[in-house]
Amino acid sequence: MTGACSFSPSFKFLKTNVSVKRCRILAEDPVAWVPLRYPVSAITPGASGDGIRRTKGGRRPGCHRSFDSFPPPKMLLVQYFMGAFVAALLGFALLPGLRGRKKKKWGGGEGNSAGTRNGGGGGGTEVIVVGAGVAGSALAYTLGKDGRNVLVIERDLSEPDRIVGELLQPGGYLKLIELGLEDCVRDIDAQRVLGYALFKDGRDTKVSYPLEKFDDDVSGRSFHNGRFVQRMREKAASLPNVKLEQGTVTSLIEENGMVKGVNYKTKNGEELKAHAPLTVVCDGCFSNLRRSLCTPKMEVPSHFVGLVLENCELPYPNHGHVILADPSPILFYPISSTEVRCLVDVPGQKLPSVANGEMANYLKTIVAPQLPAQLHDAFISAIDRGTVRTMPNKSMPASPYPTPGALLMGDAFNMRHPLTGGGMTVALADIAVLHNLLTPLRDLSDSSALCRYLESFYTLRKPTASTINTLAGALYKVFCASPDEAMKEMRQACFDYLSLGGVFSCGPVALLSGLNPRPLSLVCHFFAVAIYGVGRLLLPFPSPKRLWVGARLLSGASNIILPIIKAEGVRQMFFPASVPAYYRAPPESHR
């Protein structure tokens, strides 16, 4: 019903192209025919929404009977009194309901009963977005900009204070530009990021992003996540057809295998429902709602322990810093002109306790001695200030069951180790793919047809998503210290390969940064590193022991990357054009 009421803004379109089915739905839905919330001037043809003034009977003005066919004046008087009597009765009966409805009314939508937000009428909700984090707010703005009526329900609309999503890769920045959101990294003291510096056993090397072909403005950006998210929320909410509401979604409303909307609780504890033809769940890495839309296969290989270093200079300004430490990597990057984020990876499920001081002890005795001297004192001061935060590093391949009426997006849908800072880039790239798919469709009401059509989303997103995901997983395993001789060689080979410069550093960093989303290129570079490692072992003279280590290095490299590729889906990753859904055309009835 909701979608049937989402009129095309084109008067001509409705006048000539309204299908029989659509007319029937409209006729059965009196609310759809009386867009009361518009001022009268806005209901005149071409002025807004469908641009058609409608009468209570559901007819267009041109469909009224002509004046000379009206009954004589005496009969008119009787009809007038009868009408007034019936209207008064109806008024008494409906008044309490109408009052309740008025109370629940918001922005562009209308409630159809107490506690319900419905996608009815020309301004009814077309898309519900659950969660206004990175993915949700970017999606709401993107769809809102296209004229869709979007309701965003976010648990907490105050500025987030988190240790996640602070470095946006240049590929992600390009997506921000594509979505029209690039101004959200302005005026938040965001820092330009031009590449990475790697540190291992006292040596270091700089790996720059290959940005020569792009405008000067294009680079990575690092910032306070909360400031960035808040800017995107503000930008989305600035659109008249996007409504941001604070509330916690408790469940999806499902009927006959279709998602029709959500149940949610407002901050006042009021329990409400919202209906729309499409619900996009972007409730992040701790998603409670994804279970009904996918089979989550989650791994938590490690945690990040986050600290903020104040007023310290990084050895390479405007670069992310990766220390190949023991047992696992440590990251540094600027998040403002005066602050540097440090993320210490701690492998395994269990973290040293922050409360009893084990964590501070671990950071001071195990981590601090491995840091570049320039960062040591600021790191110790950050520990002493006691503002240590932790987050689990989850990885979860995308494995949705396409469900009519709903989609997953962002971390609720797909996660990878945050070592390479790829999460926001994948989320923004996914939104760009979805946006392109939805653009030709005005009517989202036939959920089943829409769901079949959107199956191509899962294939079209693969080149970017699988490249970033696979690299993150593989690089994390290679960068972790290992007692195994072969894996030690692989780690050293990786550092030395990236130090070679030219295509050997540009290639991998272009993959990591989302500038070159080619899975095949990733596999080539990964095995090139392994072969480089084996070659070094065999030169100048191979010994049986070195041959054996080389063979184990190759098998270890395969054991790292092949399971990740398998989880991503070999066919979708390397032969996307062979997936039937790849060529799916938009459903006729929706255009």
The site for ligand FAD (CB under 6 A) is made up of 130-136, 153-156, 163-168, 248-249, 282-285, 288, 304, 391, 393, 410-412, 418, 421-425, 427
CB of 211 to ligand FAD, least distance (A): 18
CA angle 494/495/499 to nearest 5° reads 115
Maximum distance among all alpha carbons in the chain? 115
CB nearer ligand FAD, residue 8 or residue 287: 287
CB of 429 to ligand FAD, least distance (A): 11
Q: Which tokens hold the place of 224?
A: 């306070």
157 contacts 71 by C-beta, under 8 angstroms: no
Q: CA distances (Å), 261 to each of 106, 197, 342, 561, in order? A: 16, 47, 40, 39
CB of 169 to ligand FAD, least distance (A): 6
CB nearer ligand FAD, residue 48 or residue 248: 248
CB nearer ligand FAD, residue 319 or residue 442: 319
CB of 180 to ligand FAD, least distance (A): 18
CB of 512 to ligand FAD, least distance (A): 11
CB nearer ligand FAD, residue 363 or residue 412: 412
Rg (CA), the chain: 29
CB nearer ligand FAD, residue 29 or residue 166: 166
Sheet containing 271-275, strands listed edge to edge, beginning at the edge strand earlier in sequence: 116-117, 271-275, 258-266, 242-255, 150-154, 127-130, 278-281, 406-408
CB of 173 to ligand FAD, least distance (A): 11
CB nearer ligand FAD, residue 427 or residue 432: 427
CB of 379 to ligand FAD, least distance (A): 18
CB nearer ligand FAD, residue 109 or residue 514: 514
CB of 414 to ligand FAD, least distance (A): 9
CB of 296 to ligand FAD, least distance (A): 14
CB nearer ligand FAD, residue 136 or residue 210: 136
314 contacts 342 by C-beta, under 8 angstroms: no
CA angle 335/426/131 to nearest 5° reads 80
- φ, ψ (nearest 5 deg) of residue 137: -70, -35
CB nearer ligand FAD, residue 131 or residue 397: 131
CA distance linking residue 152 with residue 143, whole number of Å: 11
Q: CA distances (Å), 345 to each of 37, 348, 419, 479, in order? A: 54, 10, 9, 11
CB nearer ligand FAD, residue 241 or residue 414: 414
Q: CA distances (Å), 1 to each of 56, 273, 285, 533, in order? A: 18, 15, 32, 62
CB-facing half-sphere around the CA of 366: CA atoms within 13 A: 16
CB of 286 to ligand FAD, least distance (A): 7
CB nearer ligand FAD, residue 159 or residue 496: 159
Q: CA distances (Å), 183 to each of 179, 215, 232, 237, in order? A: 11, 15, 9, 15
Q: Which tokens hold the place of 235?
A: 């930008």
Q: Is the peptide bond before 542 cis (omega within 30 degrees of 0)?
A: no
Q: Which tokens hold the place of 440?
A: 């030709």
CA distance linking residue 23 with residue 59, whole number of Å: 11
DSSP 514-536: TSS--HHHHHHHHHHHHHHHHHH
Burial of 291 (0-12, 13-18, 19+ CB in 10 A): exposed
CB nearer ligand FAD, residue 164 or residue 460: 164
- φ, ψ (nearest 5 deg) of residue 203: -105, 155
CA distance linking residue 513 with residue 214, whole number of Å: 14
CB nearer ligand FAD, residue 429 or residue 506: 429
**Chain residue at closest Cβ approach to ligand FAD:** 133
Sheet containing 167-168, strands listed edge to edge, beginning at the edge strand earlier in sequence: 167-168, 220-222, 191-193
CA distance linking residue 465 with residue 298, whole number of Å: 17
